[in-house]
């Protein structure tokens, strides 16, 4: 028995889609965001940090981050969540340092392939680089709608393939209104929901389970609270750190996160 009926699930998706489309339209009524290339792709290269920071944060909290962090915390305890969280924070520090430098060198750029073409001046290299770049974008979108679809499938019983299609349509619908600005607006809303969830759920869990029960589980299945345990560091931590930090040099779009952070800072 699913917690939510299929009819209620379809209604929820429809209401969410309509709400995001309406909010995007209201926040993007200026023709700049829809009638110019820079306006659509990089929000006019002028985004206030009040909206930019939550957008970057919300984008960072994607499906793999949520599920891997929970899994490692459950399995490895405090060392697991430490070696997942700290490298992510350090990766954002690298991101904050790297992005403005790239923007200064190629202020009219839009994507990382733009930077590759500018840096090496070789169109063939740029074309070759586009293959894994596009493939990575496809995988990133797929994992998002797949995991989101699985969660909604569990709650509603709606077939996964239908849910993935509907989620894709919703995202494309509000994205087509104003491009990156639509993403920033919806990211801001999503971050607000995340923060509300944190401030509501954590106190509720503590009140229900009790601090003693929570403290007893800090070691995870491994019953380990030593965040510098070499076994965890060498088997999971260092590998994760290298991957996360190296990923900053694979920023999906200069005009996306990098330009947001570079502007007004």
pLDDT tens digits, residue range 79-92?
Answer: 999 999 898 888 88
87 found inside a domain: yes
Contacts of 150 (CB under 8 A, 6+ apart): 160
30 found inside a domain: yes
pLDDT given for residue 259 in this prediction:
38
Between CA 90 and CA 5 the distance in angstroms is 42
Confidence of residue 243 (pLDDT cuts 50, 70, 90): confident
Total structural domains in the chain? 1
pLDDT given for residue 31 in this prediction:
59
pTM of the predicted model as reported, rounded to 2 decimal places: 0.79
Between CA 253 and CA 22 the distance in angstroms is 26
Between CA 72 and CA 78 the distance in angstroms is 9
Confidence of residue 33 (pLDDT cuts 50, 70, 90): low
136 found inside a domain: yes
> CA quadruple 74, 75, 78, 81: dihedral positive or negative?
negative
Tokens 């260092």 belong to residue: 238
Per-residue pLDDT of 171-213, as tens digits, reads 999 988 888 888 999 999 989 999 998 899 889 988 998 888 8
DSSP assignment of 62-108, as one string?
-HHHHHHHHHHHHHH-HHHHHHHHHHHHHHHHHHHHHHHHHHHH-TT
The residue range of the domain holding 239 is 6-262
CA 97 to chain centre: 19
Reference 172, options 27, 64, 17; nearest CA is 17
Contacts of 238 (CB under 8 A, 6+ apart): none
Tokens 């496809």 belong to residue: 138
Confidence of residue 256 (pLDDT cuts 50, 70, 90): very low
1 found inside a domain: no
Please state, rounded to an integer, the average pLDDT across all residues of the chain. Answer: 84
For residue 131, the tally of other CB atoms under 10 A from its CB is: 9
């Amino acid at each position: 028995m699913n917690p939510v009926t299929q009819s209620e699930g379809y209604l929820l998706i429809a209401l969410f889609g309509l709400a995001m489309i309406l909010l995007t339209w209201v926040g993007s009524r200026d023709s700049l965001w829809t009638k110019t290339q820079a306006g659509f792709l990089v929000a006019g290269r002028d985004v206030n940090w009040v909206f930019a920071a939550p957008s970057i944060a919300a984008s960072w909290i994607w499906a793999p981050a949520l599920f891997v962090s929970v899994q490692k915390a459950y399995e490895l305890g405090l060392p697991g969540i430490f070696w997942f969280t700290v490298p992510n924070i350090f990766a954002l520090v690298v991101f904050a340092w790297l992005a403005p430098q790239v923007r200064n060198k190629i202020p009219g750029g839009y994507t990382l392939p733009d930077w590759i073409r500018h840096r090496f001046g070789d169109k063939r290299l740029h074309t070759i680089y586009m293959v894994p770049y596009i493939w990575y974008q496809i995988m990133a979108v797929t994992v998002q709608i797949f995991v989101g679809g699985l969660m909604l499938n569990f709650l509603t019983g709606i077939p996964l393939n239908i849910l993935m299609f509907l989620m894709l349509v919703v995202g494309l619908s509000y994205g087509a209104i104003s491009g990156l600005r639509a993403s920033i607006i919806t990211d801001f809303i999503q971050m607000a929901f995340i923060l509300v969830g944190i401030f509501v759920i954590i106190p509720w869990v503590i009140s229900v389970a009790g601090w003693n029960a929570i403290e007893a589980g800090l070691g995870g299945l491994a019953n380990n609270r030593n965040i510098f345990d070499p076994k965890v560091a060498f088997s999971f931590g260092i590998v994760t750190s290298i991957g996360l930090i190296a990923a900053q040099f694979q920023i999906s779009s200069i005009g996306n996160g990098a330009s947001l952070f570079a502007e007004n800072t």
